[in-house]
Amino acid sequence: NAGVTQTPKFQVLKTGQSMTLQCAQDMNHEYMSWYRQDPGMGLRLIHYSVGAGITDQGEVPNGYNVSRSTTEDFPLRLLSAAPSQTSVYFCASSPHAGASYNEQFFGPGTRLTVL
């Protein structure tokens, strides 16, 4: 199993550009989520999904869209990049939504810089 994979690893954008961060998992996990990590702030939840066709907003959803057309894939789309979106983005998955004992498995992250 590859686990959770993310592409690209690094990306530089100009203000106003759009792009999609890709995330895929091969563990048949129901639950997938996107976090951003900024220095001194911990990971903050952007969007999450409890299954194919179902998505919901997290703590910091503004400026981001997600979709979940398959169990495996959960892309994150930046609509119009801003310097405030410079961050490290982590995708995570876990077997079942709402089961608090579930371990979350993280991808290796995407480092995004917006100029």
Sheet containing strand 76-78, edge to edge, reads: 4-7, 19-25, 76-78, 64-66
- What the block records as the tokens of 31 is 């639950």
Residue 46's beta-bridge partner residues?
none
Interface with another protein in residues 1-30 (CB under 8 A): none
Residue 42 structure tokens = 């911990």
Residue 103 DSSP class: P
- Applying CB under 8 A, which part among 16-24, 50-58, 68-76, 79-87 lies near another protein? 50-58
CB 15, min distance to another protein, A: 25
Nearer to another protein, 33 or 71 (CB): 33
Q: Which one of 22-30, 61-69, 74-82, 104-112 is the stretch in contact with another protein (CB under 8 A)? A: 104-112
